[in-house]
Structure 1
């Protein structure tokens, strides 16, 4: 989550820098309209970067650790990629899944926008794993 926030902040900073340089070098008669347009464009970019799908809470049926990735099958759903071993958060996600399995508690998985939570997908890593009640 911190990585996503850091990435979004970096992108936002870059866009603001571009905006300031753009307005300084291009003087248009109606500078306020230009600023309004660019601010609207920035807001649209920011909103779309946070789009994600939270799959409904389900109990963990199986956890599979392979050479390069961690997979999970959830009750009523197919296999999903939790994360790749080269990503630091994958170990923490695996810990949450193991605890949920041991305690028979459901988990919520978050994936990028457009992800189908019920279909088989072992190529898109999860963005988040949440332990539910």
Structure 2
């Protein structure tokens, strides 16, 4: 709980925590198991900016502690802040993969380039 910033809430039932605190608790529970790899699906969906920042800080701390984070996100700002590598999927197939900096600066596929321009891919 300390690592996730929830020590002050240790005696509160999880049911009365905010959405952001519940997400932090879920990450703390996962981190307590000391996984080598952690899969996250849109971990900050529907959270306010403050809660999003706290979750991203926890994810970064886990990564710094050696946990390989594999996550989905449609939030390109978040991907830029957190990703080392990008796997870009479209229509269920891997279109592009590589270092995040390269993906954002020079996407290799037209689908990735269109997505980064904000176009809707169908």
TM class, shorter-length:
under 0.3
* Structure showing the higher strand proportion among its residues: 1
Could you tell me the TM-score, scaled by structure 2's length?
0.25
Could you tell me the TM-score, scaled by structure 1's length?
0.23
Q: Of the two, which has the highest radius of gyration?
A: 1
* Bigger RCO of structures 1 and 2 (CA < 8 A, at least 6 apart): 1
